[in-house]
Each structure stands twice: as structure tokens, then as C-alpha cells.
Amino acid sequence: MRKCSLDKLNLIFAEIAKDAALYLPADQTDGSAAYKKWEEGTALSDALNTVRSPKDFFFPQTEDLMKFKTQGKNIDIIDIRTALEDFVIFGVRACDVKSFDILDRVFLTEPVDSFYASRRSHGIIVSMACTRPSETCFCKTFSIDPANPAGDVSAWKSETEIFFEANTQKGEDFLNKISSLTEECDDTLVATQKEAINKIMDKLPLKNLDTSAFGGGKTNELFDSPAWAELSQSCLGCGTCTFVCPTCQCYDIKDFNTGNEVIRFRCWDSCMYSDFTKMAHGNNRLTQKERFRQRFMHKLVYYPENNDGLFSCVGCGRCLAKCPISMNIVKVMKKIGGNKSE
């Protein structure tokens, strides 16, 4: 384990940025935090988390895939992929680090998504322990430890110092790069911070949220529950929950004719939209209840059934904070699963 004074943090950022693009959470004018490319003067935010998750770095909201040019009956396919720069995402919370594992199982399973895979290979994740978890946090429900945030490098920040521990070879290389600005240390202070974080987690209102009613093999039991109609009744179908979610991976592929060429691109989509997967014959989910049910059944039943029991939720709490009608996965779990935890 290594440490340095917070006074040197800007020097560390400058050293990292010599060879790689560096992104970190920065305060916004509206009081929220968002990932921003570091430049001299950019300060690391103390916010619990960013409004949008760092999945954007590996699975961007819009992404050009290829171009076509036509001349008569001839079609030229233009490969627009270019070499990616190395980059570092600094300050990623444990919930968001876990979301990358969930996305990996989608995009790195055969056939591998080469766009996603390239970004994953070029990115280094420096995580940050959560010293002030929020009342909307429930990551421990999904066996995520905010005091041990994983990633290539784990970091813990005190009032005066920051501590680093490598978890992967990428992480070892990262710490070697900043070795002149850090020093070896023991884990005494970090152990104290971990204990304090866990004490906070034990006091949060969602600490007893239970997943036992969900998981693989529960489709027949839960699919026809009458509670879906009640829960979905107020849903606006706005898709906000899917766009702030760090694990949602639905996308659409479209072609845009510029007049000179056709650009094929993909963009995020949402299973909450009425035109999601709509084809010539129509839509296979005609009601908001069906679309609502699909979203939460995928998170809590379908995904774990096909991924060794791993749920497709990381308890980050973004959907709790951002849903305009205060409907979220916690309410679904309590209602559908008979979970009475408060």
C-alpha cells in the first residue's frame, strides 16, 4: 500500500495525464458531479457519486460504427475505427466498478463487441471508497463492499492523505508511475476507515433489503404477479431510470444519410419506451405494464438466471434519486418479493 498527502494529488494527476487521458468526478454548477477530463485546476469532487455512471467510457450514449458510400450498385464499406488513447477513470465508486463486471458479461461474451473490448483494454479504473454512503445506497444487498471498491487500483481518502492499493497488473503499473510522489505505508488508517464505513452502512434504511425472492428460476413464480399492474400504473415510461443506470445495456442501431454517405451508429435505447424493439409486425410489449415488468424481471430474474446468479443491479441508488414519480427497484423488490425491510 502507498500513500501521499492530498497536497500532492494535483501533482499525481499531472503525472498521470502525461501519458493518458485522465477523467475524474468534478463539481457542476447545479451542485451535482460529472466526469470531466482533467486539466490544471480541475478538482476532485467530494460528491458521493456522479449523476451519470462511468459506463459512458466503455459504452457511450452514441457511437459511430461504420460508414457506407454508394455509387450505382456498388457499396463501399468504410471502417471508421481508430486507435484509442489510454485513459484513466479516477474516483469510481464500488457500485460502478461492479457494473463493469455485469457489462463485461454482455459485451465480452462471444461474439465479442470489439468497440467495447478496445475501450476496456485501454482503460484503467482507480476506485474510491465511500466515506459517506447515502440513504439511497443499497450496494451491500448485492454483496458489494463500499469500503473495498476494487478496480485496478483501490483508493481511500482521509482528511489529509490518500492511500492506494493495486489489485491488477494495470494497477501495479499505475502505482509504479506515481511512485516518486507516494510512499510505502501500512494499512492501519485504511482499516480504521473501512470499519467506519461499514458502521454507516449498518445504519442505512435499506440495509436489510432482501434478494431471496428473486434470482434464476423465479420466472414462473413472479411473471404473473398482480402487483405488476399496480406498480406500473404511475410509470411515465420516460426511461430516466435506464439512462442513469450503470448496468443497462440496451441499444438501437440506426443509419443516417448525410447526402454524401451513410453513417451507421448505435445509441442507447430503453425497454421502457413504447417503440423499443418495434419491427414491421409491431411491438411485442404493447402495454406499460409489460415494459415495466421486463425491466425489473431482467435485473432480478433473467440476468441472474443466465449469469451464475449475478444480479443486474449494483445498488447505486441513482434510480431512487432520479425517477420523477419515485418508482424504483427497491419498491419493486419490496412489493413483488414481499420484502418488508425499511
Is a pLDDT exceeding 80 seen at residue 168? yes
Higher pLDDT, 315 or 340: 315
Which phi-psi region, left, alpha or beta, contains residue 262 (left: φ > 0; alpha: ψ -120 to 50)? beta
Average pLDDT over residues 158-186: 96
Residue 88 to residues 176, 210, 242, Cα–Cα distance (Å): 15, 35, 25
Average pLDDT over residues 305-320: 96
pTM of the model: 0.92
Is a pLDDT exceeding 70 seen at residue 281? no
* pLDDT of the residue at 87: 97
pLDDT band at 73 (very low <50, low <70, confident <90, very high): confident
Average pLDDT over residues 136-152: 96
Contact of 313 with 142, CB cutoff 8 Å: yes
pLDDT digits over 81-93, tens only?
Answer: 887 899 999 999 9
Local structure of residue 254 (DSSP, 8 states): E
pLDDT digits over 193-232, tens only?
Answer: 999 999 999 999 999 999 999 999 999 999 999 999 999 9
Helix axes 9-17, 169-177, angle to 10 degrees: 110
Q: Cα separation of 119 and 84, whole Å? A: 7
Average pLDDT over residues 8-29: 96
* pLDDT of the residue at 339: 58
Contact of 129 with 155, CB cutoff 8 Å: yes
Q: Which of 139, 155, 48 is nearest to 98 (CA)?
A: 139
pLDDT band at 342 (very low <50, low <70, confident <90, very high): very low
Is a pLDDT exceeding 90 seen at residue 142? yes
Average pLDDT over residues 300-328: 95
